[in-house]
Amino acid sequence: MLSDLTLSEEQKAVREAAREFAEKEFPKYAEESDREEKFPFELLRKAASLGFVGLHIPEEYGGQGMGLLAYCLAVEEFWRVDGGLGMILSTTFGSEMILMFGSEEQKEEYVPPVARGEKICCSCFTEPQAGSDIAAVRTSARRDGDNYTINGVKTFITNGSIADYYVVLARTSPGAPKRSMGLSVFVVERGAPGLEAKKLTNKLGIRASDTAEVYFKDVAVPQGNLVGVEGEGFRQAMDFFNLTRIHTAFQAVGIAQGAFELALEYAKNREAFERRLADFQVTREKLAVMRTKIEAARLLALQAAVEADRGKPDPGLTAMAKYFAARVAQDVVSESLQIHGGYGFMGDQAISRMYRDVRVLEIYEGTREIEVELLARSLLGELPSKLGAVRRHPLR
């Protein structure tokens, strides 16, 4: 396959190892974690001991230093088997902000334990009134001598009730001329007085993954916990999403691939009208189209990751890859369920879980509509074509 030609032997080995790990370990946890909305810490520890958690984090900060693409290939393999469990291995989420913009002291303190899977990170942007429009963030960080005092509420935060480190976007200059100005990023440690989290339950999908509301009530953080430059938080967040959306594109490729394989197997074995489903022209076309869409999505995602690993992440390309892969994933998972008929509709089937899990991919890390808007802005020359900050702080 063309997508294979781009990969080094090392990257192919990571992909193989991730596939083997997911196929062997995930079935032990998938159903129960989904049903009980339980984060399987044991699985995280196993994955960390094999080096899967910090694949993209540089070696000097405790990771494997293999680059974003290697990490994304593992993400694809994990999501191919189970989205919720694939998601629980995103415990480095947020540490990328520290790597890209943090001081040397912050990188040395916070990143290695996260890369080794000993500590869990989360990133807190969304608020009840500020999702797609993150410039509407109201959480405030008021300078108070040598400290900042943080007040506000964040919602839908992945890992929010289990995290050790909270990377938080807050408003430091309420009087700034534009809403996107005057925002800054901080890292807050679990246990800080005034920091509380409440797990949100009964999600539609990715139920193994923890999602929480996080409250900051007069949380004092030292000036040394400011990540990057005061007032540059919005731009830093855009650079951060420009990398993390690439992971999401690979999540989508993975779940689509998994659903396709289930459909193919089912179509070869299920009989109707004294023929296999795979013998009906309509099913054959479905399978062919599914496979084509997945490969196209994979190639776009691959291109976005390769550009990022070259130190030139392109926001237009990233938006295109995330938009297209998430769209393809919805279509493919839905068609796969259709091929499974009534069995696909029953809750105990892997495909019915995928049908629920896939939905989030067009919502988080930029909704479908926001990705399209970003892409349009890039086409119209309204976005910088390459983001300079990331170029200065590559992940490898």
Ligand X SMILES: Cc1cc2nc3c(=O)[nH]c(=O)nc-3n(C[C@H](O)[C@H](O)[C@H](O)COP(=O)(O)OP(=O)(O)OC[C@H]3O[C@@H](n4cnc5c(N)ncnc54)[C@H](O)[C@@H]3O)c2cc1C
| Site residues (vs ligand X, CB under 6 A) | 122-126, 131-132, 156-158, 206, 211, 360, 363-364, 367, 369-370, 373
Taking the complex as a whole, how short is the minimal distance between the CB of residue 41 and ligand X, in angstroms? Answer: 18
Containing H/E element for 224? none
Cβ-based nearer residue to ligand X, 300 or 360: 360
Taking the complex as a whole, how short is the minimal distance between the CB of residue 205 and ligand X, in angstroms? Answer: 8
Q: Is 396 helix (H, G, I), strand (E, B) or coil?
A: coil
Cβ 393 vs Cβ 100: under 8 Å: yes
Across 159-210, the runs of DSSP E, i.e. the strands, are 165-171, 183-189, 195-199
Report the distance separating Cα 319 and Cα 242, nearest Å: 8
Cβ 192 vs Cβ 220: under 8 Å: yes
Least Cα distance to 183 among 168, 162, 200, 199 occurs for 168
Residue nearest to ligand X (CB): 131
Pairing type for strands 195-199 and 211-222 reads: antiparallel
Q: Which of 189, 365, 369, 371 is flagged as catalytic?
A: 365
Cβ-based nearer residue to ligand X, 132 or 223: 132
Taking the complex as a whole, how short is the minimal distance between the CB of residue 369 and ligand X, in angstroms? Answer: 3
Cβ-based nearer residue to ligand X, 303 or 318: 318
Residue 307 annotated as catalytic = no
Taking the complex as a whole, how short is the minimal distance between the CB of residue 120 and ligand X, in angstroms? Answer: 12
Report the distance separating Cα 334 and Cα 330, nearest Å: 6
Least Cα distance to 241 among 335, 155, 318, 139 occurs for 318
- Token pair for 77: 């393999």
CA 2 to chain CA centroid, nearest Å: 25
Cβ-based nearer residue to ligand X, 14 or 354: 354
Taking the complex as a whole, how short is the minimal distance between the CB of residue 118 and ligand X, in angstroms? Answer: 20
Cβ-based nearer residue to ligand X, 64 or 211: 211
The residues carrying an active-site annotation are: 365
